[in-house]
Amino acid sequence: MKIRLLAVGQKMPDWVTTAYVDYAKRLTDDVRLELVEIPAAKRSKNSEVDKMKQQEGDALLAAIHPNERVIALEVGGKEYSTPQLSQQMDNWLQSGQHVCLLVGGPDGLSSAVLKRADSLWSLSPLTLPHPLVRVIVAEQLYRAWTLLKGHPYHR
């Protein structure tokens, strides 16, 4: 199964890239994690937030592959414990469907993206820095996968 993480924003700090790559490469053949960076809309002092979200949303929607299960990361989404996420991952694996996770820009996801999503996932009720979200998602997916495999990482 391939999990694609579509994230708005480019040129992350080195520590973000290093941490993300470290967790992504730990996953083996049955689960692969791929990052797709979507350019953020150009912002200025007078930028309209809705217009920026729509631009980024259109780019996210265009990057979704047909037949992917789409999960938007959204503060109002469902929260999972690690064992629950592991069960979700098992369901994804059993379905044979690839997964596409969507992370919005600084202003969040457009309504069109939220409507397109098959489900919404909340990492936390806290507002997290978008670069850190990439690392948390990669680590939590790896942790969930290790539970499925009976690996001791989760202890």
| Cα–Cα distance measured from residue 41 to residue 155, given in angstroms and rounded to the nearest whole number | 41
Is the CA virtual torsion 44, 45, 46, 49 positive or negative?
A: positive
Q: Is 73 annotated as a binding residue?
A: yes
Does 146 belong to an annotated binding site? no
| Residue 118 token pair | 């098959």
Question: Known binder of ligand: residue 123?
Answer: yes
Q: Which of 144, 3, 143, 139 is nearest to 69 (CA)?
A: 3
Degrees to nearest 5, angle at CA 68 with 85 and 131: 60
Known binding residue 101? Answer is no
Ligand-binding site membership of 141 (annotated): no
Number of helices (H), then strands (E), in the chain: 5, 5
Which residue's structure tokens are 């689960």?
Answer: 31
104 is in an annotated binding site: yes
- Tell me: is residue 119 an annotated ligand-binding position: no
128 is in an annotated binding site: yes
Reduced to 3 states (helix: H, G, I; strand: E, B; else coil), residue 145 is: helix
Q: Which residues are annotated as a binding site?
A: 73, 104, 123-128
Annotated binding site for S-adenosyl-L-methionine: 73, 104, 123-128
